[in-house]
Amino acid sequence: MADPVALAALALDAAIGWPAALYRRTGHPVGAFARLIDGCERHWNRPSLPSARRRLAGIGTLALLLLLSVGPALLIQRAMNELPGPVAWPLLALFAWPALAQRSLHDHVSAVERALRGGDLPQARTAVGRIVGRDTATLDEAGVVRAAIESLSESYCDGVAAPLFWLLALGLPGVWAYKAVNTADSLIGHREERWRAFGWAAARMDDALNLIPARIGGVLICVAGCSGWRTMARDARLHASPNAGWTEAAMAGALGLRLAGPIAYDGVMQDKPWIGRGRAAAGPQDIRRALRIYRRACLLLWLIAGGVAWAL
């Protein structure tokens, strides 16, 4: 049996997440990535520069980010390999734990459900605004519910399935390389004129790194929800992202909902296609159902991590 690093990291994250007290004292490693990206973007992505130069600057930013994330992770993993197994694998699990977001994602989405259940739509809008990029100030209850469920299903890949995949595949360097690239994509990998050239490399690399995990995540949501296969196969490619649609369509099918559709960003309505052919009218009970599916899908990842440790 191999050392259960991934399984222990999942257990740590599920048990305590990233505690608020620790965040106040130290922040989070992803925050350091964000500060580096923001600094590079401000200095190297000036609108006056030609598009080709901005694209090269974006490639350089991504290379620097990978150097500063993968380099230390590789050194730590090599140092741990010199220690006895019973000492090394718990330490490796500690270093991998912050890259996972099972508990954080569950807590954020649960906060939306609690506010709606208490009849506090303004608080629900505020809570969902912490996890989505769209305009939330005018969303009705169904819009808030759909936004929360979309974030839950997409982030199941970004925050749990994909980090775990790269942890199992390439160890500590793999999981932190993924987190660095995914953070860069979330900040600069956009199609708007300001970021299109500078964020090109981050967006393309994130697409590549999520290619397999997104499809695995979609399958696991269908298994956990005992449904959704047909919707996933039919609608996954309707999403603008080549990967995010797999878990979102799987969740839409499992819940019998329509997700996505017209969405406003910065006051501009975007006519996105609907994913799923179920109800558009969603309520707090649908968030509860989605969270149950999410917990079961996370449990399936635990079984995979345990199986890999046992097989190797």
Q: Is the pLDDT of residue 228 over 90?
A: yes
What is the per-residue pLDDT for 22?
87
What is the reported pLDDT for 53?
A: 96
Specify the pTM.
Answer: 0.95
Given a cut of 50, whether residue 1 has pLDDT beyond it is: no
The pLDDT score that the predictor gives to residue 2 is 64
CB atoms inside a 10 Å sphere around CB 38: 12
pLDDT band with cut points at 50, 70 and 90 for residue 24: confident
- Confidence at residue 191, expressed as pLDDT on a 0 to 100 scale: 86
Query: Residue 96 sits in which domain range?
Result: 5-311
Which tens digits make up the pLDDT trace of 238-296? 998 999 999 999 999 999 999 998 888 877 788 889 999 999 899 999 999 999 999 99
> Going by C-beta distance under 8 Å and a sequence separation of 6 or more, which residues neighbour residue 143?
none
Q: What are the CB-based long-range contacts (under 8 Å, 24+) for 228-231?
A: 228/252, 228/253, 228/254, 229/253, 231/275, 231/276, 231/277
What's residue 256's pLDDT?
96
Q: What is the total count of domains within the chain?
A: 1
